[in-house]
Amino acid sequence: MASSSDHRKLALLIGNNSYARSENRLDHSTENVEKLRDSLEKIGFHVTRASDLHKDEMTMQIIDFSQAIHDGDLVLFYFCGHGCQVNGKNYLIPISGEWIKTERDVEDFSVSFDRMLKRIVERNPSYANIFILDCCRPYSGKDPGASGGE
């Protein structure tokens, strides 16, 4: 039986701190990514890291990363930032989440975890895929000064 050292090790680490709405800003996401990167590199991972990404940037990082995967790789994905769940589906929120004001906006302005998971697993069906979501909830989509309903 092959050990993990017999497989290429790839990791994509994304940390979002600088959310557009001040009440959603986080303090340690990018720091967590840096610490995890250091640890993973020590054990032989090739690490791609990115911080404070907008939706299109997150999507392109995920697409580029998934295209680098070969079947049989040991794959790790880590996201540290805001996440939310709407209608039983999970979403990763980019820093440009100021467009998210209602649950309906989440699908349009966030990254679908299900789609990302499918994209990565399809590239690597025969070995390990590890997903770690270090998500802070809740995400405030309401204007602090606004009143009234959605």
Q: Do the strands 74-86 and 89-92 form a parallel or antiparallel pair, or are they unpaired?
A: antiparallel
Rg of the chain (C-alpha set):
16
Beta strands in the chain (DSSP E): 9-15, 46-51, 74-86, 89-92, 111-112, 129-136
Residue ranges of domains in the chain, CATH in brackets: 4-136 (3.40.50.1460)
CB count in 10 Å sphere of residue 82: 26
Separation CA 45–CA 121 (nearest Å): 18
pLDDT of residue 148: 38
pLDDT along the chain (150 residues), means of 10: 74 96 92 98 98 96 96 97 93 90 90 95 92 85 46
Q: What is the pTM (predicted TM-score) of this model? A: 0.88
